[in-house]
Amino acid sequence: MEALSLIPWSDPLVLAVVFGVVVVAGLSVLRWWWDRIREAARRRRLRREVRTHRTFAEEQQSRQEELGNRILATSSTQEIIGFDVVRQIEAVFTDGHPTPAKAVAALKALAAAQGANAIINLASDRPPSGRYVARGDAVIVRAHDLPRTTAPSPPDQNKQ
């Protein structure tokens, strides 16, 4: 406390310097507090945005699964055993998927969205980019008409 008694408090320059130091310290505290409030608001916005994107991604995944379930059959050839190709709709292609199964699921959803119920000439590759691609032809198929089989009639016991 002796050090404070050595300061000439009556000097206007000393009072101005002390006042300036107090104002700068107060503004620094105020700035720190304001930055914390802004950072908290930014984190809240980010969490809300992540939730929104996650919900959207889940809805898209659900929609893709729903569409993919409309595909009756797939084949890596031009024919599907048990089905007749009624009409070819369009070639479909998708890329950038982490696994071949996800690439094929996305391809099925694309084909179903175009009105197909099957995919022929299905192929899945992994190019140098490291992400999987899938391609095929979206088609409409109809099940073969199965021949009707009738149960053999029991032998006529009246005939001899």
- Alpha carbon separation from 70 to 99, 125, 128 (Å, rounded): 21, 23, 32
* Percent share of the chain, pLDDT over 90: 57
pTM of the model: 0.59
Closest CA to 112 of 139, 133, 93: 139
pLDDT at 147: 57
Region 9-19: what's the mean pLDDT? 88
Q: With DSSP H G I counted as helix, E B as strand and the rest as coil, what are the percentages for the chain, rounded to 5?
A: 45, 25, 30
Let me know if domain 69-143 sits in CATH 3.30.110.70. yes
> Which run of H or of E encompasses 132?
strand 132-143
Q: Show the tokens assigned to 55.
A: 């919900």
Region 127-145: what's the mean pLDDT? 91
Region 73-101: what's the mean pLDDT? 91
pLDDT at 40: 96
Give residue-wise pLDDT tens across range 48-79. Answer: 999 999 999 889 888 888 888 888 888 999 99
Is the pLDDT assigned to residue 1 strictly greater than 70?
A: no
pLDDT at 67: 84
CA pair distance 125, 119, nearest whole angstrom: 16
pLDDT at 145: 74
CA pair distance 125, 127, nearest whole angstrom: 6
pLDDT at 158: 58
State the average pLDDT for the chain: 87
Provide the pLDDT confidence category of residue 159 given band limits of 50, 70 and 90.
low
pLDDT at 91: 92
